[in-house]
Structure 1
Amino acid sequence: METTTFPNLFWDDNVTEHVSQSSDMVEENIDKIYEIYLPRILSSSKYVRIIMYIFGFSGNLLAFLLWIRKPMIHSSGCYLAALAMSDIAFLILDLLYSLHNEWGINTFNFPIMCETFAILYLTTQYTSPLLTLGFTTERYIAIKFPLKRKIYCTPKRAITIMIFLVFLSLALCGIQGYFVTYYKEKNDCLMTKDKLQIWESWTWSTEMVMFLAVPVMILALNMLVIFEIRKSRTIALELRRIIFKTSATTTMLLAVSFVLIFTTLPVSIAYALNNSFPPGIIHISLSDINKDPVWRAHLRYYEASKIIYIVGLTHYVMNFYIYLVAGDKFRRHLLIMLRCKKS
């Protein structure tokens, strides 16, 4: 991470002058530090999210409606329909999160809603890589053991596995409601201090599994799928048989898997490095922050991690557009659906 080229921090003279006039301590203004020193990245995050919501909601809704149509609802279609619904659920919750934290609109600081939001927001994030792992595993079975495809790669089995994966995500995230509490006197949803250490250990463990171990497993399975496809082609050449083309479904699933890997792993690495770039001491005035090397390193890390996180969110938006590019059958049936015709 230290060798990564970070966007430069420009210390605006007007901002510095404004800050220097304040004698308040950082401890009293810690929520304002990023707003003062990183206004561009915070404002960019808000407006990039708006674009993501526009393309994400429309794309995932169309994908879901198409994958549940009869000609498309094979086992892989079941996974992709569930993935579209999971992405829609995440975007709804992320919209509430953005309104609350970036626009200052209270969306979940209420009794029960506080704890429920903490559970569901993380659950939808866990469901996406698990579903991707599910259909990647299925695709490997279909390529490696084609004769067993009708046994293991069926819509009924896919639905059973999807239900299990959703409940697994809920089970892992259910404890999040225990860590946060709504405080009426502060009108805020806060982490309970005596549970902070448990929360850090649990969240660190589960997120490293979901956003690091699972993507690595998906990557390994993708490599095996590609290897089996090449192996089949080599055998076909040796036997002078017709070389089969990789199916559009396999291409789409590989593309979706790789997009998730390339957008999720950098976020996991940035998250893992969080403790390596802590904020500086809080017993200095706000005007001294830009002179403190610890604070400068932290702000550079925060800016870089914010960019990485926003890029990481794109896999909740991109799937529909991957289907359009990689799936000829998907495009044909989309046109049929938009024209309100039967397939």
Structure 2
Amino acid sequence: MASNSGVISLVSGQASEVSTDVNTMASVYQITTPCTIWSNEFCDPLLMATRYFTLYGTYLAFAIGIPGNALTCIILIKMKPFNSSMIWLIVLTVVDLINLLMRFIVGRVVASVSGPFEDWSCRLFYITAETCSFSSNLLLVGLTCERFIATHFPLKMTQWCTVQRSILAVAICLTVCLGQSMYVSEVYRVNSLHECVLRDKYKNTWGVLYEDTFQTTVFKLLPIALLVLMNCLIARRLSATKAWQNKLSHGQSQSKSRQQRQIYQMLMASSICFILCIMPGIIYQYCHLLIERDDNGIRARLIMMNTFAVFEVYNSAANFVVYSIAAQKFRSEILHLLTCKGHTVRSKVKYLASETIKTIETSGDFCPSQGFS
């Protein structure tokens, strides 16, 4: 079965394995004591620990990621100045939020209310999960590419990196990821055990060649390679120009420089989180065919598949945490939003402005034709 099956099993809470052979699957659960495959409790302690890790680990990711991404989106929209980089960050946050909401609603709520997967929920889950996950990877690369242009070609920044071009690039990324995910409607079905699996005739083509090889290389490994390369070049350039930036005396230039550093810190934190969460799954997807298909091999597959799938869920949930740690301005905006301090400050400014106007209007020296000069 394709590597994505691990995501299905952990989100739906259903046991899904790399083989549709019921006897082989049952043997995994009968390692220590006799029990049935569909028992709510695993017989093997390590499998039971994996089950609880995937169950409660994903609930923790939902608890952090859903409100965190929603709050992050609000803060990013309110941050000034609103430039092309904000487009990438906002869409990245929205995509991760949709990914988490879909996993929670379809995988947890619908599964608990209407029972196991049906064909429609199976295909909806996979199409949305693949589109959001791969879009998130490409959006992070696009944002890094924009930061690379800002540091290496600053004179071209205003010409190349505009809001309109960012919107167009984001739309292309989303369209590509959605288009390549449409194969799911044909190759995935719910089997007799209500598991969302690849149809048998597609396992060696769409499963091994496309999902394990093409998708892993193009949408996971290649983005990681580009992120590492561009971040190293950006860090080198920022280090070389730090002394020059410290000598800037113009207030607007200093403000712009600080904003670029804040964006880069947020970007670097997201990139590190992305690599740590995605890289173990990439290694597994390339190497899982080398694991023996005996009892211990299938047991190892099940443990690694679900563990790495939890890491990928946290990749979508970590935006709020890494931004809060990496960016001081982001932390300040959170504090202002939660304490309503920003609204209070704006109200005071408006009040002082209105009182100033009233004072000037009532003074004898005020002349409307001369304004406030």
TM-score using structure 2 length: 0.72
Shift of 1:53: 0.5
Classify 1:169/1:144 alpha carbon distance in 2 versus 1 (closer, same or farther; 3 Å): same
Instruction: Give matches, 1:61-100, under 5 Å.
Output: 61-69=70-78, 71=80, 73-96=82-105, 98-99=107-108
Q: CA RMSD in A?
A: 3.1
Counterpart of 1:269 in structure 2 is: 283
Shift of 1:107: 6.2
Which letter maps to 2:185? G
Aligned equivalents of 1:304 and 1:335: distance in 2? Answer: 39
Counterpart of 2:159 in structure 1 is: 151
Instruction: Give matches, 1:99-138, under 5 Å.
Output: 99=108, 106=114, 109-138=117-146
SS of the residue 2:117 aligns to? coil
SS of the residue 2:42 aligns to? helix
Counterpart of 2:149 in structure 1 is: 141
Which letter maps to 1:218? L
CA offset digits 1:110-169 (Å, max 9, x no partner): 353332322112111111110000100000000111111111222222111111100010
Residue of 231, 244, 247 corresponding to 2:261: 247
SS of the residue 1:68 aligns to? helix
Instruction: Give matches, 1:193-342, under 5 Å.
Output: 193-200=200-207, 201-204=209-212, 205-233=214-242, 236=244, 247-280=261-294, 295-338=295-338, 339=340, 341=343
Shift of 1:188: 5.9
Which letter maps to 2:121? M
SS of the residue 1:35 aligns to? coil
Aligned equivalents of 1:83 and 1:107: distance in 2? Answer: 32
Classify 1:202/1:100 alpha carbon distance in 2 versus 1 (closer, same or farther; 3 Å): farther
Which letter maps to 1:192? R
1:170 aligns with 2:178: yes
1:41 aligns with 2:50: yes
Query: Identity of paired residues, percent?
Result: 19
Counterpart of 1:4 in structure 2 is: none
Aligned equivalents of 1:275 and 1:152: distance in 2? Answer: 44
Aligned equivalents of 1:17 and 1:333: distance in 2? Answer: 53
Shift of 1:317: 1.4
Aligned equivalents of 1:258 and 1:186: distance in 2? Answer: 39
Aligned equivalents of 1:177 and 1:100: distance in 2? Answer: 22
Classify 1:197/1:323 alpha carbon distance in 2 versus 1 (closer, same or farther; 3 Å): same
Shift of 1:267: 1.2
Which letter maps to 1:335? L
Number of aligned residues: 302
- Bigger mean CA offset, 112-121 vs 218-227: 112-121
Shift of 1:221: 0.8
Counterpart of 1:26 in structure 2 is: none
Shift of 1:94: 2.2
SS of the residue 2:64 aligns to? helix
SS of the residue 1:273 aligns to? helix
Classify 1:45/1:113 alpha carbon distance in 2 versus 1 (closer, same or farther; 3 Å): closer
- Greater radius of gyration (CA): 2
Classify 1:322/1:16 alpha carbon distance in 2 versus 1 (closer, same or farther; 3 Å): closer
Structure 1 contact 119–174 (Cα < 8 Å) conserved: yes
SS of the residue 2:232 aligns to? helix
Aligned equivalents of 1:139 and 1:248: distance in 2? Answer: 11
CA offset digits 1:282-305 (Å, max 9, x no partner): xxxxxxxxxxxxx22442454244
Which letter maps to 1:73? F
Residue of 56, 60, 73 corresponding to 1:51: 60
Structure 2 contact 103–125 (Cα < 8 Å) conserved: no
Structure 1 contact 57–88 (Cα < 8 Å) conserved: yes
Structure 1 contact 99–107 (Cα < 8 Å) conserved: no
SS of the residue 1:250 aligns to? helix
